[in-house]
Amino acid sequence: MFDKYIIDPATLRNTGPADAPTGFAFESKLGYYRGLGLSMIEELNVSIDGEALPREAVRFDEGQGPISLDEMESAYDRRWPFGTPATIIVARDGGFPKGEHTLGLVQKLRVSYLPFPSFNTDEKQVTFA
């Protein structure tokens, strides 16, 4: 319902030393009409030009401190509120590649009243200097 809005491409930046980035980060909103506990966010699949980055490379921070996807599974006291940006942090030597590329994100949610998992998918073309 909000797929096309879940990546905010203007927030893409590298992390780590400027001359030797260790990863990148960007802001994302939860593509759902309500907030959700972090334990129900099963996957945050980040890709560059269609190539998925490893699950272990991804961390999430809604403001309470970075957390891995494994740790999110039992983070019962943390929520990603509706319409609120959170930071997705990805470990990648060299940071985000320079030039024009496609940044992809798939949010896989465990929504209790749905018989199947819910997927929110977005891709944004970014030119990174």
Partner 1 sequence: MTSKIKRGVSLYSFQEELFLCQMNVEDCVSFATSIGANGIEILPEQNMPTFPHLSDAQVEEWKAMLARHGAHFTAYDMFLDTKVRKDRPMTDDEQVESIRRDLVLCNRLGIRNMRVLVFVRPDILGRCVPYAEELDVHMGVEVHAPWHLEHAWILRTIDEADRLGTKHLGILPDMGIFMKHYPPAFRARFERQGARPEIAQFIVDSHEAKIMSEYTIYEVAVKMGGNKAEVAMAETLRHAPYANPRRIGDYAPYFRHIQAKFYEMNADCTDPSIAYDEVIPELVKCGWEGTLSSEYEGNRWIQDVMEVDSREQVRRQHVMFERLIAQAEARFGAASAA
User: How many other β-carbons are positioned within 10 Å of the β-carbon of residue 20?
Assistant: 10
Q: Which is nearer to partner 1, 4 or 13 (CB)?
A: 4
Q: Which is nearer to partner 1, 25 or 40 (CB)?
A: 40
| Residue among 49, 52, 82, 98 that touches partner 1 (CB under 8 A) | 82
Q: Across the chain, which distance is largest between two alpha carbons, in Å?
A: 47
Q: Assess 108 for contact with partner 1 (CB under 8 A).
A: no
- Distance of alpha carbon 98 from alpha carbon 81, whole angstroms: 32
Is the Cβ–Cβ distance between 55 and 91 less than 8 Å?
no
- Interface with partner 1 by CB under 8 A: which residues? 1-2, 4-5, 29, 33-35, 37, 39-40, 42, 73, 76, 79, 81-84, 110-113
